[in-house]
Amino acid sequence: MDRSKARKRAEELVLKMTLEERASQLKYDAPAIPRLGIPAYNWWNEALHGVARAGQATIFPQAIGLGASFDEDMVYEIAEVIAEEGRAKYNAYSRQDDRDIYKGLTFWAPNVNIFRDPRWGRGHETYGEDPYLTARLGVKFVQGLQGEGPVMKAAACAKHFAVHSGPEALRHEFNAKASAKDMEETYLPAFEALVKEAKVEAVMGAYNRTNGEPCCGSKTLIQDTLREKWGFQGHFVSDCWAIKDFHENHEVTCSAEESAAMALDAGCDLNCGNTYLHILNACKDGLVTEAAVTEAAVRLFTTRYMLGLFDKNEYDEIPYDVVECREHLALSERAAEESFVLLKNDGLLPLKKDRLKTIGVIGPNADSRAALVGNYHGTATEYVTVLEGIRRYVGDDVRIFYSVGAELAKDRTEGLGYRYDRLSEARTVAAHSDVVVLCLGLDETLEGEEGDTGNSYASGDKVSLQLPDSQLALMEAVAGCGKPVVLCLCAGSDIDLRYADSHFNAIVQLWYPGAQGGNAAARMLFGEESVFGKLPVTFYETLEELPEFTDYSMKGRTYRYMEGKAQYPFGYGLNYGNVVMKEAFLDGNQVMAVVENEGETDTEEVIQIYIRAVSCEAAPPNPQLCAFKRIFVKAGETVGTALTIRPEAFTLVGEDGQRFTAEGAYRIYAGFGQPDERTEELTGKKPVVIELACPNAAVQG
């Protein structure tokens, strides 16, 4: 159903409602209107990396891992699966008239905020720090989730509009100040792409203010930018209980009625929270018009009609047995493999099973389900931890020794034990092992959203790039045993790995790899395939080189603006092959790349294209990503491929926030990572450089 027809039906239905009934539909838990045949509907559902919080579902790698895959097609496929499982669950629940929270078809995903600071606890919900990568993956996620048929398969929601990335502890009162240049260049592009290209059905506002206006009541963001400038046609939803912050924390209004009126008048159609319970009083007091209430209701029912919720449609017969079916689990495992980033390998990997008699698996994340799933996750029928994955892979051929070694953050396992009471066991396990797989990192109790279960840091944010002291002690203990060590890190953000880099043979970033993560980790460790990803964020040497967490200026942040040398750069990652760029040249708006795998292992690799205007002050100081493609190259094979550079790559943003095409030379870099000194140092490879005297031909192409 096209939007115009859906809206016409919505208008006709809403006109039959009383004002009270219309107002009642603007809450996330919209009640039934029996006299009009309207069932209750709960708008709140989550699906960052699988249908979340409603029982059984396939759990894919957390979003940051999907970002590391640099794989648009796979993200699209994953979103299709999420929509299919969401429909199957909705069909099953609605047949029983179960209209509870997390059981609808409006999924509040993806999170396309920019992971601008490694301290932000929710950064692992995003696709990373780069606006281009975030936009490309976000567009594919929305398209896969919503589908391309006459009926929308599920509704996606771009969040959190628009300048939001911590601190979590301050978000209900914080004013994020961003320049016009940073807005247009960094904070808005992904949202714009999701609206214009993917036709995302919903947008969610952020808790904080942006340049003085509460995001969920900002006429600048919602009306001027989203609806008028970009032509957004869907509905706008507040973050949960964000509207009450207007009067309780931001203090821009004096009452709940004023807050409700401010949000609704700005164009916020749906309230996740309860402040819209005061809409009728706001109308009575003349703070907001009945027309505004009606328009919000029409937009919301337009979405419900587009989802086919009042008509029979092709998705009604999707059976429940598609949930966590074999094909979906296989995709989850494949996604995990593509998300892993090989940061260091001195030749220890891949492990050879026939050369090992014993393997020591040590660490608090070795047998942890929480380390698989991140936050905003569903419930898996089976969780395969790293320990279990290795055990399954080697079977009875290799003896497995295991020790937790240390708790995630506590200083002892047994309450009456000595401090670090499992270190002696870890040393014993290492001593009895031919190789050690050390599994460290974080989980959602140490990095996540304010209010997530057990956040030990500042409302889910990190205060340091270091692992907790308990794990630092374990690293030193294992390093002192003199055995070859592979560090497997389950975490959603930058961790300081200087000690690990100087003491361990191999380091692999696993992120939060999903319920099948252990199977994928074992296949990776033993070299079944070489399908690694790349870092979607910068691993910094220290927090001291970054501006204050509360400073939203991009100066000194992310690979585009950083001034120092990264510990591990954005876009970096090794594999078991050795793919080299033999040739690259520009043909119109395409980079034609020729690569050869000079190694002995078939591998996947990610070609990355970066661009920089050579002599324009408006250009970011460092080249920025403008195209990427994941390819497969057999050992000894030469492959040619084309990567399209979008016209906006040849535009820059001035201090006034206006985008323009810069005259003069551009430099384009084709390789497998950033064209920076540190990437060259880590990989031993330089990109091919293409000099472009004038961008006009490419822009027109």
Per the structure block, which two tokens stand in for 682?
Answer: 């880590």
Measure the CA–CA gap between 200 and 141, rounded to whole angstroms: 10
Q: 169, 92, 123, 12: which is closest to 512 by C-alpha? A: 123
Q: Which amino acid is at 51?
A: V
* CA–CA–CA angle 670, 672, 673 (5° rounding): 95
Catalytic residue, candidates 117, 130, 239, 461: 239
Neighbours of 395 (CB within 10 A): 8
Q: Which amino acid is at 289?
A: T
Walk across the sheet containing 235-237 and list its strands.
157-161, 202-205, 235-237
Q: Residue 117 catalytic?
A: no
- Would residue 304 be called left, alpha or beta, if left means φ above 0 and alpha means ψ between -120 and 50 degrees? alpha
- Would residue 308 be called left, alpha or beta, if left means φ above 0 and alpha means ψ between -120 and 50 degrees? left
Using DSSP's 3-state secondary structure scheme, residue 543 falls into helix
Write the CB contacts of 250 (distance below 8 Å, at least 6 apart in sequence). Answer: 172, 173, 175, 209, 214
* Beta-strand relationship, 579-587 and 666-671: unpaired
Burial 346-373 (b: 16+ CB within 10 A, else e): eeebbbeeeebeebbbbbbbbbbbbbbb
Walk across the sheet containing 638-644 and list its strands.
579-587, 590-597, 638-644
Rg of the chain over Cα atoms, rounded to whole angstroms, equals 25
Q: 525, 475, 524, 521: which is closest to 502 by C-alpha? A: 475
> Cα torsion at 533, 534, 536, 537 (round to 10°)?
130
Q: Hey, which residues are catalytic here?
A: 239
